[in-house]
Structure 1
């Protein structure tokens, strides 16, 4: 056993280390060794380990051994989930490995084999002894490249990465989300940096992402993003060729040190200087129809240069990214067309003396879910005002077109026939299956008019739609559940009924579609209660403020449907 003078030898043991740790015994082992406590902190280290790893005892003691030493073959911090020593350490059993990578004090990588075994610290404390053997000496002054440099990724890992790429990128229809997922897939797994240049629909180049690994997360360099110069037609430079879809290429800072042949070459020189990338691979991003842009992966801290062996994998990733981005663009284009058409079709609200009206339409958050919800308000030939809200089954351009047909037919019937709402909806139901593309739809048709005593009265019929909500000026709210019948387009002919209710002075009537109150994981009753509670609390608000707040508070974040909302307020009286 070591005497007191040995225990106090500088650099050998922490003053707080357990007395049972025999430092002299570690030195006598003859190979590099250190001991960690139950939490993996170094509590003793011998001179051989200090010399091998280029660190003094003070740099070891109290530090987490995994965080301090363990690295992957590229010099990156090794995730604990990938540490081959971790499970044996926690199981307190003996284990060994033929090759791992440890980082020395000067930043060089050292290939080592190791053996760990439980180590009794005395009493109830338990430790683990780690023995190290260097497989090859580190190269002073720089991080050595592992022997696997230039070799492609093992086939099983390559297939797993491509499968993950396909799954993650094809499960979104949003371009920005697809780009975010792409960067997470390749950084830091394949590179320190990822740069994405996309060609817009106007044939302009936009540097959409410049992202690098920073700690455990990703950091965006927005000052390097933005518009790019035009793609030169004949330039032999790697990015220009990739953006023309000609070929993939390797590149480095020296590639762009020559006299620039285009504005893109100038921007590339700026990119390499700002990021410190010393090795890069640049590949086209293609869809089945066109070149969409270019993907650049760069390594700055990673000691391994890209080689031609890396190109097939990165080209496969870019190809899958191209298909996902193309699909996302097509859906967003469809959404824009549908929204534009729907916004043009949704009406201007009429001016009715004494009444105040406002309406809102919100498209679904998913680009593929747009179309069938609508509202309407228009004057009738007898002087009353018609109010309507409805939902055509479906969420696509066909539903939007069906909505337009339904709304226009409703206006024609309501103007031409001085009949109660139930009879107008009956006529509409008879026609829907024969002269429209609508399969089924729900709706409410109401007429509102001033009575002889100056108060306002509402008459309505409901074809399978959520009930209107009437909120008094004092905040009492109740649903108008009368006048309910089956939805349109079923082919079933059952009598429809009308219901009538007074609109008290200052009261507010809300007509809405189910997207306001429904969402996966929530019942209809929950949504109706949520609407009634919030609308009642907002009764004193101006009508536009009430409408906006109802949408903000009531609509679920998980809602995947569009929403139409029509609000009408009766005059307060004198």
Structure 2
């Protein structure tokens, strides 16, 4: 094991939410199990481990696992340099040992077999899983050799694989990523071929993924992927049965050499002939609600055949995959609905003679793809053009609904009330406190109209929003900090200021939300300076290119906030 001074080199630290997720996963194992972080401190433990070690979770969590548990055969402290588990930890590899000793709370030593395996969660954090149980042969002190690769997994390996399957698949909500993680867990550990057939939402079968282990690499064989014939209701062939939800079965080339009873049987026969698979196990991929597809694991290079004893493990892996895929599909369906809603909520930009205008919206990566950030531009009754950018607190459907209310009310006031921007926003602030559920929001409301000598007059008021950025055609930049007042929703009834400025020919005005510039562990000034620097460098580009590159360069990596951006360019004289 490892100590606080020994830091694993692969992956980052476990996130604060990880132990709670891991604790539930470990309870499903039939052996003692615990997880250590990159410093070797125990962060999760199951009740079986508590029982075997005679220690409660409170006595285990937060302690250095090596110092607390690992001992020599006589109960003496084990030097770190002699600890096989610690060596495997630092090597970042899976390892097992048939005989070792852990300290029991009674002062005695517990003779155990163990398996250690690293894993990476979906957020990039890393940890190490230790699975152990009392040694099966207490009278035989000699370590036993590992079984050859062609033999079945040991019980510890099986438990570790199931635990890793659950951890890896439930830590992503992307269907494609979940499928690639699934086959990476299986190949080459169980088989040298993995095939995933999925049933689409239109009840069509699609051979989604075919992967082969070649020279220690996983190679996707796209020539075998694609649409499949329909599932016959009466076919007794293994793949057809699995796609109807029947339990896992074995298959071989001989299975499909008989007269085919369906198009799927023909495709499966072709798969066996083209890949050289001589033994396969086929299991249904099921959720709690429906059959999602089938998993085929095959051996071509590995000479050992699958047996009926292998089927429970493969069926269990497929079942866990089904639950993860179902969650991912539900999430992606929600995202699609939310994206459609967002497209209807965010308006198309009007054509304004003499002005170029472009907008961008990037949703928060961890939200339902909608949020409170918004932009707007629309003609006013006096033939000027209104511009707006804003942010309603939140990153969910409620925030999006609040955003739509604020935007529509602003349009109504701006069109009907021929008043300065400050007065329009004052009316809006008073209204949203009484007839919406919006708690707080920031915004800039402006109007723009032609002036003399190719200039355009911009008038605006700012309700607690990041200041607009003005970029000249020569790359000179300035933030428009005038006209700044408090955000909406404070119920302060303080008069709001107005400001105005002339936009010179060829200049670019950038309105944006705080997701573009805010980054953890950096000040707001650093974000504003980053935006200013890149905007100046991109001033010569066409407006669409300017906007796309600005987003790509300035938006913080790993940003967890949505971003709305409106860029406007005055024509050159």
TM-score (ref. length: structure 2): 0.71
Stretch of structure 1 that moved more, 351-360 or 406-415: 351-360
Structure 2 CA distance for aligned equivalents of residues 147 and 299 of structure 1 = 12
Match of 2:259 in 1: 259
Structure 1 CA distance for aligned equivalents of residues 149 and 471 of structure 2 = 75
**Partner SS for 2:294:** strand
Structure 2 CA distance for aligned equivalents of residues 381 and 532 of structure 1 = 34
Matches within 5 A, 1:323-362: 323-362=323-362
Match of 1:530 in 2: 530
User: Is 1:287 the counterpart of 2:270 in the alignment?
Assistant: no
Match of 1:244 in 2: 244
Change (3 A) 1:163 1:431: farther
Structure 2 CA distance for aligned equivalents of residues 550 and 164 of structure 1 = 40
Match of 1:488 in 2: 488
Structure 2 CA distance for aligned equivalents of residues 215 and 390 of structure 1 = 54
Task: Answer whether contact 2:454 2:505 (CA < 8 A) is retained.
Answer: no
Task: Answer whether contact 1:370 1:561 (CA < 8 A) is retained.
Answer: no
Match of 2:229 in 1: 229
**Partner SS for 1:526:** helix
Name which one, 1 or 2, has greater alpha-carbon Rg. 1
Deviation at 1:454, TM superposition (A): 5.4
Stretch of structure 1 that moved more, 523-532 or 169-178: 523-532
Deviation at 1:353, TM superposition (A): 2.4
Deviation at 1:263, TM superposition (A): 0.9
Task: Answer whether contact 2:466 2:512 (CA < 8 A) is retained.
Answer: yes
Deviation at 1:487, TM superposition (A): 2.6
Match of 2:108 in 1: none
TM-score (ref. length: structure 1): 0.71
Stretch of structure 1 that moved more, 466-475 or 308-317: 308-317
Matches within 5 A, 1:55-454: 82=95, 149=151, 153-366=153-366, 368-451=368-451
**Partner SS for 2:182:** helix
Stretch of structure 1 that moved more, 480-489 or 250-259: 480-489
Task: Answer whether contact 1:339 1:363 (CA < 8 A) is retained.
Answer: no
Deviation per residue, 1:74-117 (Å, 9 max, x gap): xxxxx9864989xxxxxxxxxxxxxxxxxxxxxxxxxxxxxxxx
Change (3 A) 1:568 1:291: same
Deviation at 1:433, TM superposition (A): 3.6
Structure 2 CA distance for aligned equivalents of residues 522 and 159 of structure 1 = 43
Structure 2 CA distance for aligned equivalents of residues 463 and 223 of structure 1 = 57
Match of 2:478 in 1: 478
CA RMSD of aligned residues (A): 2.8
Deviation per residue, 1:133-168 (Å, 9 max, x gap): xx99xxxxxxxx96994x6x4443333222222221
Change (3 A) 1:161 1:524: farther
**Partner SS for 1:261:** coil
Task: Answer whether contact 1:338 1:400 (CA < 8 A) is retained.
Answer: no
Change (3 A) 1:489 1:455: same
Structure 1 CA distance for aligned equivalents of residues 232 and 276 of structure 2 = 25
* Unmatched runs of 5 consecutive residues or more in structure 1: 1-78, 86-134, 137-144
Change (3 A) 1:260 1:346: same
Structure 1 CA distance for aligned equivalents of residues 437 and 317 of structure 2 = 42
* Unmatched runs of 5 consecutive residues or more in structure 2: 1-91, 99-143
**Partner SS for 1:410:** helix
Match of 2:35 in 1: none
Change (3 A) 1:521 1:181: farther
Deviation at 1:249, TM superposition (A): 0.8
Deviation at 1:275, TM superposition (A): 1.6
Task: Answer whether contact 1:389 1:443 (CA < 8 A) is retained.
Answer: yes
Deviation at 1:564, TM superposition (A): 1.8
Change (3 A) 1:203 1:468: same
Structure 1 CA distance for aligned equivalents of residues 219 and 448 of structure 2 = 57
Change (3 A) 1:322 1:417: same
Structure 1 CA distance for aligned equivalents of residues 338 and 150 of structure 2 = 53
Pairs aligned (count): 440
Change (3 A) 1:542 1:416: same
Match of 1:549 in 2: 549
Structure 2 CA distance for aligned equivalents of residues 181 and 207 of structure 1 = 17
